[in-house]
């Protein structure tokens, strides 16, 4: 590349033990919900990163033994030689694009419930498994530790056979046996593996030595280490024991991959950790202690931030999981001077939620993520147009913007009409709520792209009706008119009995709040039958504005779905800190004058609470009037997409817009079976 590129430093090769990374871009291990269950799809995800320029592409935590069985989650698996061919799919895909392949070997200790294998759970000391599953771990004796070391060593040899170049020892996220041995609250042993820090680190040291001895001739040995638990003096701290661990192990690994624990701190959302590079403060001294290369993460999407981290000596390699999911082509875009084309991660953790739900990975910003193999989608390539057709997209929310952008990339003439004065739809509104400003990247990236294209016309303040559509004379129409929040209280919990709402009672919806309307006074009852993020964010907004807020939900948690995005405890804590009165397990029965009646979800017993104003966050109604009026009007294409077709998350709307654009003018037989390839079980395997 030309030295004129201001980011040339990021493209220097880096030696990692016996292997060389072609540049400083390092995709650290991350889950995909694909793993051993869908290895072809997983290999395609990883191959795409290599194609996008990442020098190192890691897989995800990979179980080394049946006593570390994470079922039903789809992580990596390398219990024995039968798992090698599936992993070789990945190493081949990564090598095909000149990158190094890394594998994150893991034994999850008491984090593994062993539901599939029904094996005993192992831990440094006697303790329960770390979920609410009714099972306890047994303390490992010396023979168990010897066995564990043998499993790890054998797995490293199998990983080498599978073609991996970098093999991890993993002590992080409070989820691995090596980490559990290090942490005093999990290790109450009195032998040489417990007590002093040196003793607690002994097992990790042995794993690093064993791995070097087994595969170090040709593979690098990486060490992924959570240097801080981000709970202050109650846990490991980067400035105290975290630092001491780096000093103790110093040059033993070929590479330090340093982050923070637990996963919710490592993969912090922008709502709770707005700054990119938020882990730098924990990392900064590691390079002063070890001579080995250091990789660090922190939702790094800005090339300037990356450059400054290398220049300041914080890291040698730029680590990324989520930024590489949102845009697998970040390195190539930086190298080719296309920085403004980077599709930045918004820190929403929908990708994380996929893993927690045991489903294939998806990403709000990158609708092709997880679809590389099963649908054959490429984030940077889309089939060119097959005709000179003109297209009209109605609605400029995430679905409409994505659909318009992809149609334009295909070369079609695109007209996009948006009713309001601003593009972005729900994103333009939601990004004005507390903590969600980074979500505007969903609109910014797409609007920026659309504005640069000569084949696109963008119209705001243009609410179209059927007649106007006919006047435009465009025969291919995509209707992305979205949805609006209901004001009658209909929701999951109220299908049989709608709450009665007294005439004159002030009832607001999220749309009202996002349009700038505020309750006339408190207490404000926020009724959350949606359970995702919006009710919690609105509660935060109103409580911060000084309202007395009562949060009522039929669930036993505030924003229960946010468990999957790792935010739920933070959301509930924030509302408690703001003085919000939280009433869980309560269904809204009535809004009456100056009070609301709530009903216990279990006993049906009623209680009355003071209520001057109510915000209902329950369900949405699809905006289909325009679509309905256009049906039967002879248009060649009429397709309803996004929230107007099926209200859901932003990720769903972006995906729907993308799919519609890909399928446009696709041969009918193909488009009709838009369904995807499935990875089926090879029955021959059962005879092994
Ligand atoms: P989605 O998530 O499916 O993209 P949104 O609700 O975010 O849905 O966006 C829908 C957009 O469609 C909104 O910005 C809304 O103003 C716009 N819209 C709704 N009806 C019309 C219409 N008849 N003409 C033009 N734009 C419309
Ligand atoms: Fe980032 Fe959200 Fe995509 Fe995950 S789903 S990579 S957090 S934009």
pLDDT for 1: 56
- Nearest-5° Cα angle at 570, 567 to 573: 150
pLDDT for 221: 98
Q: Is the CB of 346 under 6 A from ligand 2?
A: yes
Question: Ligand 2 pocket test: which of 267, 320, 349, 367 has the largest number of ligand atoms within 8 Å of its C-beta?
Answer: 349
Reported as a single tens digit per residue, the pLDDT across 327-340 is 999 999 999 999 99
Nearest CA to ligand 2 atom 2: 348
Q: Is 31 a catalytic residue?
A: yes
Listed in sequence order, the residues at least 6 apart from 91 whose beta carbon sits closer than 8 Å to its beta carbon are: 101, 162, 163, 164, 165
- Contact present, 384 and 410 (Cβ < 8 Å): yes
Nearest ligand (C-alpha, residue 365): 2
Question: Ligand 1 pocket test: which of 481, 624, 647, 651 has the largest number of ligand atoms within 8 Å of its C-beta?
Answer: 481
Q: Which of 400, 399, 398 is nearest to 443 (CA)?
A: 398
Listed in sequence order, the residues at least 6 apart from 605 whose beta carbon sits closer than 8 Å to its beta carbon are: 599
pLDDT for 591: 97
Asked whether the predicted pLDDT for residue 351 surpasses 60, the reply is: yes
Asked whether the predicted pLDDT for residue 94 surpasses 60, the reply is: yes
The mean of the pLDDT values for the chain is 96
Mean pLDDT of 551-568: 97
Choice among 7, 170, 527, 533 that is catalytic = 170
At what angle are helices 441-451 and 398-410 packed, to 10 degrees? 30
Q: Determine the distance separating the centroid of ligand 2 and the alpha carbon of 279, expressed in angstroms.
A: 18
pLDDT for 676: 84
Is the bond preceding residue 262 a cis peptide, omega within 30 degrees? yes
Residue 674 is encoded by which pair of tokens? 């838009």
Choice among 31, 351, 363, 403 that is catalytic = 31
Per-residue confidence band for 128, with pLDDT thresholds at 50, 70 and 90: very high
Reported as a single tens digit per residue, the pLDDT across 391-435 is 999 999 999 999 999 999 999 999 999 999 999 999 999 999 999
Asked whether the predicted pLDDT for residue 2 surpasses 90, the reply is: no
Asked whether the predicted pLDDT for residue 666 surpasses 60, the reply is: yes
Q: Which of 392, 395, 386, 381 is nearest to 456 (CA)?
A: 392
- Nearest-5° Cα angle at 330, 226 to 73: 50
Q: Is the CB of 481 under 6 A from ligand 1?
A: yes
476-479 and 390-394 as β-strands: parallel, antiparallel, unpaired? Answer: parallel
pLDDT for 667: 85
Mean pLDDT of 500-520: 96
Q: pTM of whole model > 0.95?
A: yes
Q: Determine the distance separating the centroid of ligand 2 and the alpha carbon of 347, expressed in angstroms.
A: 5
Residue-by-residue DSSP string for 51-88: HTT-SEEEEEEEE-STTS--TTS--EE-SSGGGHHHHH
Q: Is the CB of 615 under 6 A from ligand 2?
A: no
Reported as a single tens digit per residue, the pLDDT across 355-386 is 999 999 999 999 999 999 999 999 999 999 99
pLDDT for 453: 98
Q: Is the CB of 364 under 6 A from ligand 1?
A: no
Nearest ligand (C-alpha, residue 459): 1
Reported as a single tens digit per residue, the pLDDT across 227-241 is 989 999 999 999 999
556 C-beta neighbours (distance < 10 Å), count: 10
DSSP strands (E only) in 405-467: 413-417, 456-459
Q: Which helix (H) or strand (E) holds 584?
A: none
pLDDT for 673: 64
Asked whether the predicted pLDDT for residue 628 surpasses 50, the reply is: yes
Nearest CA to ligand 2 atom 1: 345
Residues in the chain: 688
Per-residue confidence band for 680, with pLDDT thresholds at 50, 70 and 90: confident
pLDDT for 4: 86
pLDDT for 687: 47
Nearest ligand (C-alpha, residue 396): 1
Backbone torsions φ then ψ of 8, nearest 5 degrees: -55, -35
Q: Determine the distance separating the centroid of ligand 1 and the alpha carbon of 482, expressed in angstroms.
A: 5
Nearest CA to ligand 2 atom 3: 363
Per-residue confidence band for 688, with pLDDT thresholds at 50, 70 and 90: very low
User: What is the C-alpha to C-alpha distance for residues 607 and 601, in angstroms, rounded to an integer?
Assistant: 12
Q: Is the CB of 464 under 6 A from ligand 1?
A: yes
Residue 319 is encoded by which pair of tokens? 């680590």
Nearest CA to ligand 2 atom 6: 322
- Please tell me whether residue 100 adopts helix, strand or coil conformation: strand
Asked whether the predicted pLDDT for residue 686 surpasses 60, the reply is: no
Asked whether the predicted pLDDT for residue 3 surpasses 90, the reply is: no
Per-residue confidence band for 533, with pLDDT thresholds at 50, 70 and 90: very high
User: What is the C-alpha to C-alpha distance for residues 122 and 109, in angstroms, rounded to an integer?
Assistant: 5
User: What is the set of domains in the chain, with CATH numbers?
Assistant: 8-356 (3.20.20.70), 390-482+623-674 (3.40.50.720), 485-621 (3.50.50.60)
User: What is the C-alpha to C-alpha distance for residues 113 and 132, in angstroms, rounded to an integer?
Assistant: 10
The CA-based dihedral angle spanning residues 174, 176, 178, 184, taken in that order and rounded to the nearest 10 degrees = 30
User: What is the C-alpha to C-alpha distance for residues 346 and 352, in angstroms, rounded to an integer?
Assistant: 13
Nearest atom in ligand 1 to the alpha carbon of residue 643 is 3
Per-residue confidence band for 132, with pLDDT thresholds at 50, 70 and 90: confident
Per-residue confidence band for 142, with pLDDT thresholds at 50, 70 and 90: very high
Strands of the 581-583 sheet, one edge to the other? 506-508, 613-617, 524-528, 549-552, 581-583
């Amino acid at each position: 590349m030309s030295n004129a590129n201001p980011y040339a430093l990021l493209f220097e090769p880096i030696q990692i033990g016996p292997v060389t990374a072609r540049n400083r871009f390092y995709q650290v291990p991350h889950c995909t919900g694909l793993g051993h269950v869908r290895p072809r799809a997983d290999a395609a995800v990883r191959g795409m990163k290599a194609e996008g320029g990442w020098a190192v592409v890691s897989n995800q935590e990979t179980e080394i033994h049946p006593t570390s069985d994470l079922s039903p989650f789809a992580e990596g698996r390398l219990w024995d030689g039968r798992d090698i061919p599936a992993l070789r799919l990945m190493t081949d895909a990564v090598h095909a694009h000149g990158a190094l392949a890394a594998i994150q070997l893991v034994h999850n200790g008491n984090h593994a419930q062993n539901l599939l294998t029904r094996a005993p759970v192992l831990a440094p000391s006697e303790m329960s498994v770390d979920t609410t599953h009714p099972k306890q771990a047994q303390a490992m004796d010396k023979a168990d530790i010897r066995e564990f070391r043998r499993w790890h060593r054998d797995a490293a040899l199998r990983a080498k056979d599978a073609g991996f170049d970098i093999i991890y020892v993993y002590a992080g996220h409070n989820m691995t046996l090596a980490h559990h041995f290090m942490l005093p609250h999990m290790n109450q042993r009195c032998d040489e593996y417990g007590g002093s820090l040196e003793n607690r680190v002994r097992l990790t040291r042995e794993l690093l030595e064993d791995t070097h001895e087994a595969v170090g001739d040709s593979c690098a040995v990486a060490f992924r280490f959570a240097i801080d638990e981000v709970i202050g003096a109650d846990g490991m701290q980067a400035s105290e024991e975290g630092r001491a661990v780096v000093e103790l192990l110093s040059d033993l690994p070929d590479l330090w991959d340093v982050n923070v624990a637990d996963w919710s701190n490592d993969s912090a959302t922008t709502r709770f950790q707005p700054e990119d590079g938020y882990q730098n403060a924990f990392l900064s001294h590691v390079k002063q202690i070890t001579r080995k290369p250091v990789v660090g993460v922190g939702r790094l999407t800005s090339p300037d931030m990356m450059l400054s981290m290398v220049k300041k000596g914080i890291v040698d390699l730029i680590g990324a999981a989520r930024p590489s999911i949102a845009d697998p082509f970040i390195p190539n875009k930086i190298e080719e001077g296309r920085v403004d084309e980077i599709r930045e991660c918004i820190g929403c953790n929908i990708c994380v939620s996929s893993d927690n739900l045991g489903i294939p990975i998806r990403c709000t910003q990158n609708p092709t993520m997880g679809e590389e193999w099963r649908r054959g989608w490429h984030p940077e390539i889309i089939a060119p147009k097959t005709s000179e057709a003109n297209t009209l997209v109605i609605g400029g929310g995430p679905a409409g913007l994505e659909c318009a952008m992809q149609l334009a990339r295909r070369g079609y003439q695109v007209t996009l009409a948006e009713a309001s004065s601003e593009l972005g739809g729900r994103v333009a509104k939601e990004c004005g709520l507390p903590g969600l400003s980074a979500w505007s990247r969903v609109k910014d990236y797409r609007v920026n792209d659309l504005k640069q294209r000569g084949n696109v016309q963008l119209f705001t303040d243009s609410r179209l009706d059927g007649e106007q559509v006919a006047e435009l004379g465009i025969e291919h129409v995509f209707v992305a008119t979205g949805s609006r929040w209901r004001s009658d209280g209909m929701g999951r919990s109220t299908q049989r009995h709608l709450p009665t709402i007294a005439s004159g009672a002030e009832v607001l919806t999220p749309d009202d709040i996002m349009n700038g309307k505020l309750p006339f006074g408190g207490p404000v009852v926020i009724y959350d039958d949606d359970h995702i993020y919006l009710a919690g964010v609105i509660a935060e907004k109103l409580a911060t504005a000084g309202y007395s807020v009562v949060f009522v939900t039929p669930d036993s948690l505030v924003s229960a779905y946010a468990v999957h995005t790792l935010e739920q405890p933070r959301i509930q804590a924030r509302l408690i800190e703001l003085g919000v009165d939280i009433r869980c397990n309560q269904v809204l029965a009535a809004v009456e004058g100056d009070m609301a009646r709530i009903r216990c979800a279990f006993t049906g017993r009623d209680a009355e609470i003071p209520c001057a104003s109510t915000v209902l966050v329950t369900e949405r109604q699809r905006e289909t009037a325009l679509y309905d009026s256009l049906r039967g009007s002879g248009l060649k294409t009429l397709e309803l997409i996004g929230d107007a077709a099926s209200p859901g998350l932003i990720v769903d709307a972006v995906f729907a817009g993308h799919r519609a654009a890909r399928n446009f003018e696709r041969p009918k037989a193909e488009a009709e079976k838009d369904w995807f390839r499935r990875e089926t079980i090879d029955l021959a395997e059962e005879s092994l």
